[in-house]
Structure 1
Amino acid sequence: MPSERVFALIDCNSFYASCERVFRPDLANTPIVVLSNNDGCIIARSYDAKPYVKMGEPYFQARERLQRHGVVAFSSNYGLYGDMSERVMTLIESMVPACEVYSIDECFAELTGVPGDLLELGRHIRTKVLRCTGIPVGVGIASTKTLAKLANHVAKQHQERTGGVVDLADPLKREWALRKTPVEEVWGIGKRLSRHLRVLGIHTAMDLSLAEPRLLRQQFSVVVEKTARELAGLSCLELDDAQAPKQEICCSRMFGMRLEHLAPIREAVASYTGRAAQKLRAQGSWCKRLRVSIRTGIFNPHEQHHAQAALVELPYPTNDTLLLTRAATQALTRLYRPGFRYSKAEVLLLDLCPAGQFSGDLFAPAQSARSEQLMAVLDQVNARYGRETLRSASVPQVADWAMRRELMSQAYTTRMDQLWRVR
């Protein structure tokens, strides 16, 4: 008989805050929060910061309280977090047979057929990731992906007792975890759906695992049915080995200030287009259309509101930053209206297709080989020396409209001029 499926979920603890602590060992025992774009809201908290602030709370409301309790705030340093995530995931992939990166701070691993003590393997993964990257992780092991997620949750909730690793292969441990877990904390359920489940008498993960799957499918969806079956120990969700290419690529940012003139908005749109084009080339795709939109703030009743978008048909499928930027900025000129104070722009690349896998007009123009060579050199230089080392001339080196990140840490791992210095 085939061996029972075994999955593990490896999840970084307070990932954004942990990234900041890696290069600030003086903050090892200091509560940390990380802020959203333009330092607006709290989007991440270290475990010891949770008693002092709610997730999503506006920073200006919490600032004095955080300072009073010695909580240190950081602006979002997405470049650092992305690079640290890649290091963690690469390390995990080297220790397991197969791996699915689920988000920036967590991944599923396939452990079916792996010999030896799986708890010991989980501890080895945790120790090696911490030693090599400085990021603490929790490891949950079980026979299904949903149970592995639950095991990881238990590992984090009872870290002192579990050492950050839990294996729910033992039926007694699995039953205890299911009985102790409220249904809203089950992966994929949430608070809104849990209210409907509670009407049916389903209050815990155990209740959901014992519910009739077919009835759950009729009343809710196939997703809820699969969740119940997975909690009962029947594997319904496979490991996704490779992430499918995106069908749309978006780059959207709030400006650091309200913009009234066309020139700085054009610079922002050119910058966003360049970033979107880089993502496009990274997944080996070409773009047939793009959409540009701008809008004013929506919360100030004393400001005039304006929001408009334009869809642009490109002359041919392309991944050329220069062509995409020219099309986006020309569309922006048609959208812009004087007298408004704009707060946000967005560039959306649409109708994506793999390079060489599109049906074009035999007599229509096509992207030249020279353009492809130029884009390859652009990406190579920026990968080696940092993002936007080479960029469109429309994008300034320092922009007044850039997103406010007054509390941002250094780009310790992605910029040569900001490498970590040890004295």
Structure 2
Amino acid sequence: MFALVDCNNFYASCERVFNPALNGKPVVILSNNDGCVIARSNEAKAIGIPMGAVAFTIKEIVKKFDVKIFSSNYTLYGDMTNRVMMELGKFAPEMEIYSIDEAFLNFKGFDYENLQFYSEKIRKTVSQNTGIPISLGVAPTKTLAKMANLIAKKNTSMKGVYLIDSPEKIEDALLKTKIENVWGIGRRYAKLLNTNKIYTAKDFTLTNDIWIQKHLKVVGIRIKQELLGNPCIALEMIRDKQNILNSRSFGKMVSTFPILEEAVANFASSCAYKLRRQKSCAKVLMVFITTNPFIQTDPQYAKSCVVQLPIATNSSIEILKYAQIALKKIYKEGYRYKKAGVLVNEIVPENQIQTGLFEEFDAQKHKKVMKAMDKMNLTFGRGKVKIALQGTERKWKMQQERLSQNFTTRWDEILEIHCIK
């Protein structure tokens, strides 16, 4: 049996953990640079705020219903998801982190008669220890577990837990689930299936395998088998990233090289830190810059530069050096840049580095420096110690006028509790 655990309204729930006054009120989270709606609480959905709505178009409804709006705080959300996943990892020997707010658990070998109680215990523990509400769907396959989770969310009487643990429940779920809500069926496939009178998951399981193979390939066959209760999609254990990208749209258009250089340096530093966290090094680095294609009155320019590093590294010093070299090759004056980014790939374990005989780069020395820098940043706060090229002004940073505090990752922003006698 598999369980799909999903955090309810995750971004909004993270904000509510540290501000209980938000409970029961409509909450909306905006995208980078406060552009559009990327997350909503149930209350925000109920008053008709659509996903993807541009922020300025919902001003009237925000004022009418006193909607609480927040800039996306990815530092907070990332830390909270780590806390949730750590709690979930205590309840199953195998776990697949599927997204920032979802995870699959493998209940193989568990006493199936007690899975309802066990699932309720998971939900209660996560809520108690992190403050994040979750829903669980349990079923014989991952696809059915996804379906069970949707049922658990929609039916409040189930208190966030639903088990598909019998042929009768599988049949009932198949009949009630629209084909577009089946995991793995995208919009294009849903449209094709509807055109061929396949409207529900049940209809799909009755469809000829040859037809499914022709139109949906082997993926479609796997989905059908999963819906029938035959597991054929295994858990994917946590693996190191093979590509690491860090990029941002700027809060203001950037025209000068020093500001663009500072932004790229910060993106490169973030990539290097992520490499060190997973004990990996990168062989290749790419820097890209682009103007805003939506401002047609501006001259347009987009360019990237790929650099083969002499030795695979995770040193911020080395990665920033080559990112700066790449940026100088592609930067052109006379343009207003909207976005930049750094990508590192061809990633290898840090204990499998092929060094050069005449290479002047002292990997061990850099390793010690990076270890000390990371330790100080962990102790005193993120970004307290950094490479000079990263600068201090951050004129390029995203527009985040409604950003909440980093309650869990910065000492100077932690909540203060005062006892009144």
* TM-score under structure 2 length normalisation: 0.95
Instruction: State the identity as a percent.
Output: 40
Establish whether residue 66 from structure 1 lines up as the match of residue 65 from structure 2. no
- What is the CA distance between 1:397 and its match in structure 2? 3.2
Distance in 1 between the 2:328 and 2:356 partners?
29
Extract unaligned runs of 5+ from structure 1: 1-5
The residue number in structure 2 matching 1:3 is: none
The residue number in structure 2 matching 1:373 is: 368
Instruction: State the one-letter code of the partner of 1:151.
Output: A
1:148 to 142, 145, 155: 145
CA distances 1:302-348 after superposition (whole Å, capped 9, x unpaired): 11111111111222211110111111112212222111111111111
The residue number in structure 1 matching 2:381 is: 386
Distance in 2 between the 1:144 and 1:384 partners?
43
Establish whether residue 97 from structure 1 lines up as the match of residue 93 from structure 2. yes
Task: For 1:214-293, list aligned pairs within 5 A.
Answer: 214-241=210-237, 243-293=238-288
Extract unaligned runs of 5+ from structure 2: none
Distance in 2 between the 1:385 and 1:286 partners?
26
The residue number in structure 2 matching 1:56 is: 52
Q: Secondary structure at the match of 1:330?
A: helix
| Count of matched residue positions in the alignment of Structure 1 and Structure 2 | 416
Q: Secondary structure at the match of 2:222?
A: helix
1:110 to 92, 106, 109: 106
1:328 to 317, 323, 331: 323
The residue number in structure 1 matching 2:118 is: 121
Contact 1:213/1:225 (CA < 8 Å) preserved in 2? yes
Distance in 1 between the 2:392 and 2:64 partners?
37
The residue number in structure 2 matching 1:209 is: 205
The residue number in structure 2 matching 1:79 is: 75
- What is the CA distance between 1:218 and its match in structure 2? 2.6
Distance in 1 between the 2:379 and 2:35 partners?
32
Contact 2:265/2:324 (CA < 8 Å) preserved in 1? yes
Distance in 2 between the 1:299 and 1:254 partners?
13
Distance in 1 between the 2:309 and 2:76 partners?
34
- What is the CA distance between 1:368 and its match in structure 2? 2.3
The residue number in structure 2 matching 1:200 is: 196
Distance in 2 between the 1:422 and 1:190 partners?
47
Distance in 1 between the 2:162 and 2:104 partners?
14
Instruction: State the one-letter code of the partner of 1:125.
Output: I
The residue number in structure 2 matching 1:178 is: 174
Instruction: State the one-letter code of the partner of 2:82.
Output: E
Instruction: State the one-letter code of the partner of 2:334.
Output: G
The residue number in structure 1 matching 2:290 is: 295
The residue number in structure 2 matching 1:345 is: 340
Contact 1:317/1:366 (CA < 8 Å) preserved in 2? no
CA distances 1:100-151 after superposition (whole Å, capped 9, x unpaired): 1111111101112212411111111111111111110000000000000000
Once structures 1 and 2 are overlaid, which stretch shifts more, 44-53 or 23-32?
A: 44-53
Give structure 1 regions of 4+ aligned residues with deviation exceeding 6 angstroms: none
Once structures 1 and 2 are overlaid, which stretch shifts more, 58-67 or 106-115?
A: 58-67
Distance in 2 between the 1:97 and 1:271 partners?
37
Instruction: State the one-letter code of the partner of 2:235.
Output: L
The residue number in structure 1 matching 2:26 is: 31
- What is the CA distance between 1:369 and its match in structure 2? 0.8
The residue number in structure 2 matching 1:411 is: 406
Distance in 2 between the 1:367 and 1:313 partners?
18
Q: Secondary structure at the match of 2:390?
A: coil
CA distances 1:340-360 after superposition (whole Å, capped 9, x unpaired): 111111111122111232545
Q: Secondary structure at the match of 1:9?
A: strand
Instruction: State the one-letter code of the partner of 1:133.
Output: T
Distance in 2 between the 1:152 and 1:81 partners?
22
CA distances 1:229-248 after superposition (whole Å, capped 9, x unpaired): 1000000011223x222221
- What is the CA distance between 1:97 and its match in structure 2? 2.7
Once structures 1 and 2 are overlaid, which stretch shifts more, 369-378 or 384-393?
A: 384-393
Contact 2:30/2:70 (CA < 8 Å) preserved in 1? yes
Q: CA RMSD in A?
A: 1.5
Contact 1:317/1:367 (CA < 8 Å) preserved in 2? no
- What is the CA distance between 1:363 and its match in structure 2? 4.3
- What is the CA distance between 1:283 and its match in structure 2? 1.5
Establish whether residue 304 from structure 1 lines up as the match of residue 299 from structure 2. yes
Contact 1:315/1:365 (CA < 8 Å) preserved in 2? no
CA distances 1:177-206 after superposition (whole Å, capped 9, x unpaired): 211111001011022111111233211011
Contact 2:311/2:356 (CA < 8 Å) preserved in 1? no
Q: Secondary structure at the match of 1:96?
A: coil
- What is the CA distance between 1:291 and its match in structure 2? 0.8
Contact 1:19/1:80 (CA < 8 Å) preserved in 2? yes
Contact 1:287/1:352 (CA < 8 Å) preserved in 2? yes
Contact 1:316/1:367 (CA < 8 Å) preserved in 2? no
- What is the CA distance between 1:259 and its match in structure 2? 0.9
Distance in 1 between the 2:202 and 2:416 partners?
51
Q: Secondary structure at the match of 1:211?
A: coil
- What is the CA distance between 1:35 and its match in structure 2? 0.6
